[in-house]
Copies of this chain bind each other. A is one copy, B any other.
């Protein structure tokens, strides 16, 4: 760790943690990576399908914002942040970011990230500043550090990227994209996350109005027609055309239908490209998949493509 502080709090803003073992495993793994790990007192609570009732989860978010640890890492996603957005103290979130906190996660955490962006609580880091503070679309404890399927408890690339990001050293991510975008070079505010959550914020005060941005999206368990419907909604709402680029991550684990007859993710993207003027890139290593990078939500980034190699730099 190149920064002085390395305290990391695991918290549960959304769904219940069914078993404590993956959290304990993640805590061990993160300690081995050099973090001073603490599990928030409410992280393992259970109320219906939530990690504690709304008041409890809200209090946990405010408590952690007050403590302003170096890293606030969600244990998992699920559903739950939508219930808290109207009641969250965005000034407290903003202060935690100013004091250096990185809020990290994906899936349901998209709601926290984008609402924070909408309410001006994303920090104000500029390109070139090697800071950790802010909103990071990135791994989560149970999914990426708490699995049983390897000694490391997760994917190496994911963990290394997270480690770099949390030390303030990560300055870019690269990925292989489709042919046809060679020479593309643009810049804008990076934002996005889980498509269903982006969709579920549209039209509300928690949806950030980012113009000229770079929008990244991923989703899980959604049939391509539902992915298309959500993307078409963003298009019809004027959101897609306002972006410099759309960058698609992984869309996984959906079930095909015998009625599809050749309709698939590829035809969805082709249709979107036929109606949306902004370039739509694919291949971002992000989503409900083991290999995921860290992406600074709200940061100004440069997007460059050389041949089929794409880079997002900040």
With contacts A48-B262, A261-B46 taken as known, whether A236 is within 8 angstroms of B85 at the C-beta atoms is yes
Q: Which of A229-250 contact B (CB under 8 A)?
A: 229-230, 232-233, 236-237, 239
> Is A48's CB under 8 angstroms from B82's CB?
no
Binary contact track A196-229/B, C-beta < 8 Å → 1, others 0? 0001111111110000000000000000011011
A68 within 8 A of B: no
Q: Which of A50-104 contact B (CB under 8 A)?
A: 50, 78-79, 82-83, 85-86
> Is B15's CB under 8 angstroms from A233's CB?
no
With contacts A203-B202, A203-B203 taken as known, whether A259 is within 8 angstroms of B15 at the C-beta atoms is yes
Q: Which residues of B contact A16 (CB under 8 A)?
A: 259, 261
Can you name the residue of chain B whose Cβ is closest to the Cβ of A47? Answer: B261
> Is A49's CB under 8 angstroms from B82's CB?
no
Q: Which residues of B contact A202 (CB under 8 A)?
A: 202-203, 233
Q: Which residues of B contact A236 (CB under 8 A)?
A: 85-86, 204-206
The number of chain A residues with a CB under 8 A from chain B is: 41
Complex-state Cα separation, A86 to B233, whole angstroms: 11
Can you name the residue of chain B whose Cβ is closest to the Cβ of A15? Answer: B259
Complex-state Cα separation, A17 to B232, whole angstroms: 23
26 A/B residue pairs, CB under 8 Å, sorted by A: A16-B261, A46-B261, A48-B260, A48-B263, A49-B225, A49-B260, A49-B263, A78-B259, A79-B225, A79-B228, A79-B229, A82-B228, A82-B229, A82-B232, A82-B233, A83-B232, A83-B271, A85-B236, A86-B236, A199-B199, A199-B200, A200-B233, A201-B233, A202-B202, A203-B207, A204-B233
Q: Which residues in A have some Cβ–Cβ distance to B below 8 Å?
A: 15-16, 18, 46, 48-50, 78-79, 82-83, 85-86, 199-207, 225-226, 228-230, 232-233, 236-237, 239, 257, 259-263, 267, 271, 275
